[in-house]
Structures are given as C-alpha cells and as structure tokens.
Structure 1
C-alpha cells in the first residue's frame, strides 16, 4: 500500500534529495562525507521528494552503484527497508540483474524472500528473467522456492498460480527450471498455499501448463524425474510435434512404475526439504556417488 510521507521526511526533503543525487551520480566519496554529518545520517532510511519511491539504498541498487551501496550499508542503512510498493533493495537488485549488489545485500542480512507485503518476490523475478546465478544465491540462502505471489495468472483459458517454476518454464529458462526443482520446488503446483489453490476452480499443474505452452520434452522429463504426478494432467491439448513427443513420454511413464531407486531418492529429497536442509545435500557425510545421485547428477562411467 502507498504510504504518506512522515513529517520528518517532509521537513528533510532537501537533505534526502541531496543524498539521492550523490547516489545517482555514483559519487561514493561525497556520499561518505555527507553521511558523516548528522543532518544527512538521520535521513539515510527516508524517502523524500515527489515521485521518489524509495530510499537512497533503493536508488543505489537500482543503478547497480555498488560502491555507494557499500557506503550506505557502512553508515547503517536498513538492508530491508521498503519503497512505496513494499519492495526491498534486494528486489531492486535482482530486477536489475546486479549480482554484486545482490551478494552484498544478502551478506548484510537481507531477507532473501523480500517483504511479505509485496505481491512479488526476488525468486519470482529471477526465475522470470532467467538469471540462474542470482537465483542460485537466493535459494542457497533459504529463499522460498514455491510460490509467494498473491497474484493468479490467466493463461490459455486457465487460472494458475504464478510460481517461479511455472515462470521459468513459460519463459524458456531451462537452467532456472532445473535449479528450482533441485532446491525442492513442488513439481505439481509449485505452491504450498492451500488457500490460494482452493481459490482456483480447477488448478492446473506445472506439467499440464508445460504441455499447453509447448515446452520441450526436457521440461516434462525433469518434472517426471522430480516426482510430478503424471496422472494429474488432462491431455486436451493442441497438436504439435513437441507436444506429441511430450505426451508420448508422459503416457509411457503412466504405464511404467517408477524404479525403486528413484522412489528412494524422491523420499530422501522430500524429507530434506521438510527439515529445510535440501540446500545442504552436497555437505552430507556420505559417498560422493550417493550425493551425485540425490542431486540428479549424471556421472560418466569410466571404462577400464
């Protein structure tokens, strides 16, 4: 929700504007000198001026001005302050694809999920933009891999939850799609909010939406490998070469029970996700071959 400026912000518009100008000019030395003065330091977390949505920290990360970001954090800027849309500086850094700023904010303790009042999240934005490295850093620090969006999308005459897995698929970002599954994304609805799902008359699975959007067979195979329910989709789709191949793969899977080893892997991964340890698989005290198996890594066989 929009928030009216406080009286302190009204009275300090001049100082806030000057701080913002130094940031936009990427003048970290001037910014540091200004913040050594109490008159500027007291407005470091304020928004001010008509049309100004965020704080000086928002301005710094929105332009990728890393040195100014460091100065602001060094002088006590709040890492999770919000703009008028409840977007944190981390959200702005992810949207701008500034990896160095993302790492600095996360290192300073930024919430990887952004602010709960915002309809979107850093993970959703990274998945939509296909920025796999930023997405990886967010997930490594515990960002929610299932839907945080409060918005439902209308697509192909179907109402669906706009989760990160869905966005990665429809925008064709295979690396992000696989990464989300590795970090425990729900392969069916990519949403664990029962209230949100119940508001949809006939919720569509990620698998069904991949079929509807003509995603490649590799997307369908990944969903199958990560335990998607292959009996959920209703196979009423338009005909195309890609879809025919995908449907053939799906029907083949329906007719063949999953191997016991695959079932075991899925069970272990589900438990690790439940105890919030799925990002720690590589650190488990077990043989490398088992870790590779849990992480769906194909290790080439060495011929003797």
Structure 2
C-alpha cells in the first residue's frame, strides 16, 4: 500500500465525505455559471434583433421539450412574457419555442405574463396552446397570478379559454387573493364564471371573511350582492366578528344591512360587540344598534330590510345576477340589489 493510499485511509470519514460534497458544489456552481451566461447571451441576441441566433442557442443548450429541470432554465419565452415584449414573444413562438416550457418550480410563460398584467402576451400564449390551468409546485395558476395583479383583462381571457374559476381546497384560491387585495373587478369576473362565493379555505375562511379581515369594503359589498352568506366566516367566527374586531365600521353597517346576526357567538362564546376594541366606533355602533332589552334574544329589524332579504332568498343565490334584467322600475331593482 502506497503512502498516499495509506494517508487517505487514515483520514476520518467525515473529512472524506466533506470533500465529496465540495466537489458536487463546485460542479453545480460551474453548471449554474454556464447556464446564466447562456441566458445572458440569448437575451443579448434578442435585444440586438438577432432572434434567429437566440433561438439556435436556446434550442441547442435547453431541452424544454423533454422537461429539462434546472432552476436556472428560464427560457427566452419566460423573459419576453414577464417583460411584456409581444413582438419578441411572437417571434420565439414562431421559431418553435414551447409555450408550456417549465422552470423547476413549474412556472410557465403564461404565469409570467399574467403576474405582469401583460394582456396581449397572455392572449398570444393562449392562442399558441398554452395550458391555462397549469400550476406551479406551490399550486399557483395563471388565474391566481392575474387576480393577484388585479388584471381583470387577463382574468377574463383565462376564464374564456377554460381556466377553472375555483381551485382545489389545498391550492391557493384566486377569489381569496383578489378579495384580500381589493381587486373587486376580478372577484366579479370569477363569480360570473361560476366561482363559489362561499368557498371555505380552512386557514382563511370564506372570501367575505377575508374581505372583512383585510378591510376591503367594495369587495365585501360585491360578494354580498352576489349572494355570499353573511353568516359564513372562519369556523365559528362570522364576518361580523372579523369586521368588529378590526373596527371596520363601514363593513359592520353593510353586514347588518344584509342580515348579519348581531347576537351570533364564536368559539369563545363571544358576540361581535364583545370582540370589538373597547370604546371603538364599531363597539359604539353595535351597542346602539342592538336592542338593550335583555329579555329579547333577537334584535328587531326594519320591515324594508326583512322584505328585501326575503325576496332575495326566494330568488336564490344562483339567480341574483338576473335581477338587473327583470322588468322592474329602476328604484325597485336598485332596492333589491342594495344599490
């Protein structure tokens, strides 16, 4: 046995293992450097107008058709979509680049176009066959990105081309995302294409509950007009509990107009007035609104409120959107639609 072999055999196992990991890390860094350099070179050719050479480099060094999997593998199509460069995008598509190219996180060019609110790019990708229901490893769809960006146009294009308006329970919800950021136009588009306004995400509750937590008055109003349950929130917490706790008096008034139960109890057996901040506007309003007679279990409501709620209940949630088409006087139609 040579001295070199003997020296290696005498080294601790941990030291030898660390050398292996260092070699792997060095190889990974070298590969990453090469791929970043190629991406920069491709981008340089696109900027200079030499798209043919850019396509050749991409085709030679990136194997997107076979689902190449390095996280550095952002194609020129991803870059063009994220920056809204429609001409470059169409050129790359015509040269054969896959519109469903994936990064290791399963992000597609359509994801990039939607998150950037690049409507023309999104349309071009869809026309070329992009999967409108593709989802990343986190469950994010292009529709979710469009709602996050507040892009009503992208939202409608996706829905018109087969995007599912409602995600599975374990994936991020487009209607919750749009609601949390106050994008009521996206909320209306989702509902008009069949999204359930009362969909309940365990850690978020309903979209209406989210609107109350995030203090988005207009989204709360649109959801209620579309028939969202005024009592359904998160577990035993009602939307009114959330609005009162946030001292969001405008939504507290709105919820009561839509029939919220002022005496509802949460898991701690507290009413909305009990969770409102002490001496807050919401607490004062709730105390004024409720009947101070302790012998009554239900706060009496105005007759016009009861009539409106009764008519809307008879119409049914799925047909509320048809109220605007009924041959009724404008005043009566506005009354039924809370306008």
Length-normalised TM-score, structure 1: 0.66
Aligned with 1:240 (options 223, 242, 248):
248
Aligned with 1:63 (options 46, 70, 83):
83
Which sections of structure 1, spanning at least 5 residues, go unmatched? 1-9, 152-161, 192-196, 270-292
State the SS of the aligned residue for 2:100: coil
Q: Within 2, Cα distance between the matches of 1:214 and 1:185?
A: 21
CA contact (8 A) 2:132 2:161 kept: yes
Change (3 A) 1:215 1:40: closer
The higher relative CO (CA closer than 8 Å, separation ≥ 6) is in 1
Q: Within 2, Cα distance between the matches of 1:29 and 1:248?
A: 61
State the match for 1:102 in structure 2: 122
From the CA coordinates, give the structure whose radius of gyration is larger.
2
Please state which structure has a larger fraction of its residues in helix.
2
1:281-296 residue pairs with structure 2 within 5 A? 294=322
Aligned with 1:250 (options 245, 258, 283):
258
Q: Within 2, Cα distance between the matches of 1:299 and 1:88?
A: 47
Deviation at 1:141, TM superposition (A): 0.8
Q: Within 1, Cα distance between the matches of 2:209 and 2:58?
A: 54
Q: Within 1, Cα distance between the matches of 2:209 and 2:35?
A: 54
CA contact (8 A) 2:180 2:216 kept: yes
Deviation at 1:241, TM superposition (A): 2.2
Change (3 A) 1:80 1:254: farther
CA contact (8 A) 1:90 1:102 kept: yes
Change (3 A) 1:60 1:82: same
Q: Within 2, Cα distance between the matches of 1:295 and 1:131?
A: 27
- The aligned length equals 247
C-alpha RMSD over aligned residues: 3.9
Question: Which stretch has the larger CA shift, 232-241 or 90-99?
Answer: 232-241
CA contact (8 A) 1:54 1:84 kept: no
Which sections of structure 2, spanning at least 5 residues, go unmatched? 1-29, 260-300, 331-339
Q: Within 1, Cα distance between the matches of 2:190 and 2:81?
A: 25
Deviation at 1:104, TM superposition (A): 0.8
Change (3 A) 1:44 1:215: same
1:57-96 residue pairs with structure 2 within 5 A? 57-96=77-116
State the SS of the aligned residue for 1:91: helix
